[in-house]
Amino acid sequence: MTRHAFFAPGLVLVLVTIGGRYTLDRAGLLELAWVDLRVIGLIIALVLLAVDLARRPHRLSATSGPGRREGWLVAAVLFFLFQIGSALWAPPASRVGPQTLDLVLLGVLVLAFYVYAVGDPEPVIKATFGLMFAAAIVFALQALLISGPGEQGRYSAFGGGPNVFVRIQILGVISAVALFLITGRLLPLLVTPLFLLAAVLSGSRAGLLAGAAVGAYALLKLRHRLRAGPVVAAVVLLAGVIAGLWAFAPPEFTSLFQERFVEQTVQEQYLSDRTSIWAAAWNLFLARPIAGAGLDGFYGVIGVNQMVEYPHNYVLGVAAEGGLIGLGLLATSIVLWTRLVHGGGARPQLTGLAVASAVFVALSSLFSGDYYDSRLAWIFAALAAAAALPRVPQPGHEVEPLAGRREPVPR
């Protein structure tokens, strides 16, 4: 009898992922500020995952062998371990403890998602997109109806920043498309205007640009499969929604768009001081090119004096703090992963959707966020890798070698 993956481990893993750095002081319990709910949630998820793996050993063992290409994961784990080890030569002002915990949790999350999905990727990835879709709805409604605009007029939810909020909303759009393609139901697509509105109100220019880039590439790749009627209907519907929002939206909505996207971006070409921060990170890399300044070295050398938390660019952060060694390990993982997922593998649709999600967050990480903020990129990369692997043979069937067909052949 075929045993599919439990839903419970995925639910807890997604909650830990989207919850961010949530300590109990954010809930008003200042005396329990030391309690990091990520650790508790991840322990619960690992216990549930262990139970799940114990009940479906056949599907997991069937995925072992020459078809398993996990060099990218090995390189990723070595990369995380090197980042943690670089704390040995970090400057005294570096926040080594919190950064080490972030990297440990990031590595465990990536491994947990991969192990969870590798034996049974179809239901796992479908459930993940479903949970991300639901999370995007909850985040959007909380931001619009409860939290409201922040000091800068930008929207976010549950105490997180706008740049994290926009990632949840664009992933909601991708999840809606995924659910439509998987189930054939139109309902998820009807919610996408809510996600797009919330994404715009976040004021995150980089997040919107990354989402537009991924969406444009997807349309370009699928241009021969698109029919004129649905495309025209979608464009007309989207234009109508935009016109309606512009006409009836409260003044603070339109003022945010006018100030953030028109005046600051187009007229003033204001980039939130990103270029000077990136230049400082690059100079730090040039000063210590081999092994970098060490974990959180950017803050320990530059940020502590200039009140800048991190380089706001994942690659530059790795270069500044890990040098050529860190960049080499990261590049190795990316290259091996790209070779694995290129072409979609055994499940092109699921692989492509997970790749789109990973690439979107990765592009966003080039403009904002620290190492832990990149977790969704790594997690969706793990799901894409699991989806690309050969299909697991069912009892009574066997799979031909990789050079042959992927379809199960009866004995």
- For residue 244, count CB atoms less than 10 angstroms from its CB and return exposed for 0-12, middle for 13-18, buried for 19 or more: exposed
First to last CA, the chain: 17
Q: Are 188 and 130 in contact (CB under 8 A)?
A: no
In sequence order, what are the beta bridge partners of 397?
410
Average pLDDT over every residue of 67-92: 92
Tell me the pLDDT tens digit for each residue of 329-367. Answer: 999 999 999 999 998 888 999 999 999 999 999 999 999
Between the CA of residue 201 and those of 134, 144, 238, 398, what are the distances in Å? 19, 9, 16, 52
Using the 8-state DSSP alphabet, how is residue 155 labeled? B
- Residues 181, 162, 212, 72, CA torsion sign: negative
Q: With 80 as the cut, is the pLDDT of residue 258 above it?
A: no
> What tokens were used for 25?
């002081």
| Residue 393 exposure: Cα atoms within 13 Å on the Cβ side | 19
**In this predicted structure, what is the pLDDT of residue 51?**
92
**Alpha-carbon span 170 to 357, nearest angstrom:** 9
Query: Is residue 407 very low, low, confident or very high in pLDDT (cuts 50, 70, 90)?
Result: very low
**In this predicted structure, what is the pLDDT of residue 219?**
80
Q: With 50 as the cut, is the pLDDT of residue 187 above it?
A: yes
Between the CA of residue 5 and those of 113, 155, 384, what are the distances in Å? 12, 36, 17
Q: With 70 as the cut, is the pLDDT of residue 386 above it?
A: yes
What residue ranges do the domains of the chain occupy? 8-54+71-389
Type of residue numbered 166: V
Please state the φ and ψ torsions of residue 149, each to the nearest 5 degrees: -70, 150
3-class DSSP assignment, residue 23: strand
Question: Is pLDDT larger for residue 259 or for residue 293?
Answer: 293
**Alpha-carbon span 94 to 278, nearest angstrom:** 18
Tell me the pLDDT tens digit for each residue of 265-304. Answer: 544 445 567 888 999 999 999 999 999 999 999 999 998 8
Q: Global pTM?
A: 0.87
**Alpha-carbon span 367 to 315, nearest angstrom:** 10
Tell me the pLDDT tens digit for each residue of 24-43. Answer: 666 666 666 677 889 999 99
Query: Is residue 206 very low, low, confident or very high in pLDDT (cuts 50, 70, 90)?
Result: confident
**Alpha-carbon span 197 to 263, nearest angstrom:** 19
Between the CA of residue 167 and those of 60, 322, 345, what are the distances in Å? 32, 26, 26
